Structure 1
Amino acid sequence: MVEVKLGAATATRIEESYEPNFEARRFFPDWNADVVRQHHDWLVPNHYDEASGFLKLSIHSWLLKVGGKNILIDTCVGNHKPRAYRPMWNMMETPYLERLATAGVKPDQIDMVMCTHLHVDHVGWNTRLDNGRWVPTFKNAKYVFSREDYEFYQKVDSDPEKGPANGGSFRDSVLPVVEAGLAQMVSGAATLDEHLKVEPAPGHTPGTIAIKFEADGEKALFCGDILHHALQVYHPEWNSFACLDQDNARKSRRAALEHCAGSGALLMPCHFGAPFTCHIDHKGGGFAPRFSGNF
């Protein structure tokens, strides 16, 4: 279990899965063998599985403890969710809640859930199955959703030719939260408290948000899918197959990297391989990740 100190706060990685899960050349249209040769010393084995040609992407949440509050950032895929279109995520059974308990927090002790966007692998544990119904997992929490993302996927979901949105996750992992009155919609830039701000970072989805954190002079940026993989630090022009707005995705990615390189904020992604976080340095006309610990 990875725990990161951020001033008086801590951020603990709550793992759902960490395995080779997407074919690299399909995930990144710009993927090429030269990149593997150039970055082989750090890329293998924690970020790329050479034998299969698959990226090794983690799927995890960050449990942020600050000021007596427990905040969960992005909630992975979830258990018992029908995802036939993505077999590795279909009807999962993982000890995610047990891992959360090991970090010292039970579901009823979560004060806030923040979803950087509303894709299937960032909303799943928002709900759990209870006697055949999807109910909020964290019943005492406010769930922070981007209004832009919510309205976009609500429209997709109601279109019989396009829905259900996000493989069904909008219906089983987002709507039950809204119907329970637990959603807090944010639009544009917003200050949530003395430690947390959200800013629009559109591109991957229309309403993707960057979550900026500061405590005791320590800064972090929870980036969701603004960056999926550490190679995008070197290649911020690389988009994944899942980025809806290619141009804005590149702009938001570069803005996130500039923020981290300029402010010293620790980059806190949801899919990077070990050691799962990094600082960002300017290098030439671009950027480079600076990892700490063993990886």
Structure 2
Amino acid sequence: MTTTPLTTTPAWTVGDITVHRIDETPLPPATGPWLLPDATPDLVVQHDWLRPHFADAEGTLRIDSHTFAFTVGGLRVLVDTGIGNGKQRANPAWHDLDTDYLETLTAAGFPPDSVDLVILTHLHADHVGWNTRLVDGDWVPTFPRARYLTSRVEREFWAAYEMDEAREQMFRDSVLPVEEAGLLDLVDVPAEGLTVSPGLRLLPTPGHTPGHVAVELTSRGGTAVITGDCVHHPVQLAHPAIGACVDIDPHRSETSRRALLDSLAGTDTLVLGTHFAPPTAGRVITHDDAYRLTPVPADAHRQPSATSPTGAGTDE
């Protein structure tokens, strides 16, 4: 009798949906001061609930790059695609990476050719990188059977934006090849949100970028929300006015963040932070005049190894 190897995947159960965290890479300590300059160490250390998971004793923020994969309504879905391998980036933490992201995704049961839908919360370099991979010198879609979905407002904003060379490069290697393959779908997201399929809804959270969306999952009375960059780090629950240095519209970003947190506070909704370090997920509670996150550990959901006879197959 052959024993099937098992791979542990950080995952959370929402009704009938299992949401897998697909790890790419932790980001270096310098990321926090650059990205959230108002989250100073003196401010961060005032919040002991951030330690040890989301910040260290000196007030340095912990920030990760990961994505989420799940099956809902018969669709195999990936939310955001991280930084990507071999991409030429101005940010040294993102430049020319060589990670096991695709192997991790496959081991979780989502080989690239099995993905039906890729949702892009917005079109920043650390959210679109694995849209493509390099094959024989060309950037080609990583998920050839998938539709890639993003807000029409988002794509049209960048089409009219005067980009620097670094952003032009990102679009050349990670967005345009998907468009040219006819795989990018643009959708209008009204104020009340857009239902993509039963149990899967896009929530407009503009500000970080004009067309930014969060992603809501519902199943059998359970609800989860994937934040995208509406919330970069749990310190923003305690201080919603703290914005990112790359917010296109800081005031609108804060408004969206406050509205989202207010809608989540005191509910059973599982919040999954796109850049939250492990344990990554939690529930929002009111605290003083703002909020805090009560962590929810992963289920450590186990899937058959992709290399086993009963696994999901390998990425060839």
TM-score of the superposition, structure 2-length normalised? 0.85
Change in 2 beyond 3 A, CA 1:226/1:274: same
Q: Quick one: distance in 2 between partners of 1:112 and 1:24? A: 31
- 198, 202, 207: which one pairs with 2:206? 202
Q: Higher RCO, 1 or 2 (CA under 8 Å, sep at least 6)?
A: 2
Give structure 1 regions of 4+ aligned residues with deviation exceeding 6 angstroms. Answer: none
Shift of residue 154, structure 1, vs aligned partner: 1.8
Cα deviation code 1:156-192 (max 9, x no counterpart): 2xx4xx3346362222111111111111111223211
Residue segments in structure 1 that go unaligned for 5+ positions in a row: none
Partner Cα distance (1:183, 1:165) in 2: 22
Cα distance in 2 for partners of 1:224, 1:243 equals 13
Q: How far, CA to CA, are the matches of 2:51 and 2:26 in structure 1?
A: 15
Q: Hey, what's the Cα distance between the residues in 1 that align with 2:166 and 2:211?
A: 15
Provide the secondary structure at the position in 2 that maps to 1:38. Answer: coil
* Structure 2 counterpart SS, 1:279: strand
| Aligned residue identity for 2:241 | E
Tell me, what secondary structure is at the counterpart of 2:63? Answer: strand
Alpha-carbon distance in structure 2 between the residues aligned to 1:96 and 1:32: 31
Matched, 1:2 2:3: no
1:48 maps onto 2:55 in alignment: yes
The answer for the alignment partner of 2:178 in structure 1 is 177
1:21 CA drift (Å): 4.1
Kindly indicate whether residue 281 of structure 2 is the aligned counterpart of residue 277 of structure 1.
yes
Aligned pair count? 287
* Structure 1 residue 147: Cα displacement: 1.1
Q: Work out whether residues 79 and 121 of structure 2, in 8 Å CA contact, stay in contact via their aligned partners in 1.
A: yes
Aligned to 1:224: 228
Separation in 2, partners of 1:153, 1:31: 28
Residues 194, 132 of structure 1: CA spacing in aligned structure 2 closer, same or farther, 3 A cutoff? same
Report the TM-score, using the length of structure 1 for normalisation.
Answer: 0.91
Matched, 1:93 2:94: no
Check the 8 A contact 1:20/1:48 in 2, yes or no: no
CA RMSD of aligned residues (A): 1.9
Greater shift, 249-258 or 181-190, is seen at 181-190
The corresponding residue for 2:116 is 111
Structure 2 alignment gaps of length 5 or more: 1-8, 299-316
What residue in structure 1 maps to residue 314 of structure 2? Answer: none
Greater per-residue helix proportion = 1
Q: 1:186 to 1:262 in 2, by over 3 A?
A: farther
Question: Which residue pairs with 1:187 in the alignment?
Answer: 188
Quote the residue 2:125 is aligned against: 120
Q: CA deviation at 1:2?
A: 1.0
Task: Give me the whole-angstrom Cα distance separating, in 2, the residues matched to 1:149 and 1:19.
Answer: 25
Partner of 1:35: 43
1:258, CA displacement in angstroms? 1.5
Alignment partners' CA distance in 2, 1:262 and 1:49 = 27
Task: Sort the Cα spacing of 1:37 and 1:10 in 2 relative to 1 into closer, same or farther, 3 A.
Answer: same
Counterpart of 1:228 in structure 2: which amino acid?
A: H
Alignment partner, residue 138 of structure 2: 133
Give how far 1:226 is off: 0.3
Moved more, 214-223 or 62-71: 62-71
Structure 1 residue 70 corresponds to structure 2 residue 56? no
% same residue: 38
Higher mean Cα deviation, 189-198 or 132-141? Answer: 189-198
Q: Structure 2 vs 1, CA of residues 235 and 41 (structure 1 numbering), >3 Å: closer, same or farther?
A: closer
Which residue does 2:269 correspond to in 1?
A: 265
Equivalent residue number for residue 306 of structure 2: none
Q: Distance in 1 between matches of 2:34 and 2:40?
A: 11
Between the aligned partners of 1:43 and 1:174, the Cα distance in structure 2 is 37
- In the alignment, what sits opposite 2:301? none
Deviation at 1:262, TM superposition (A): 5.2
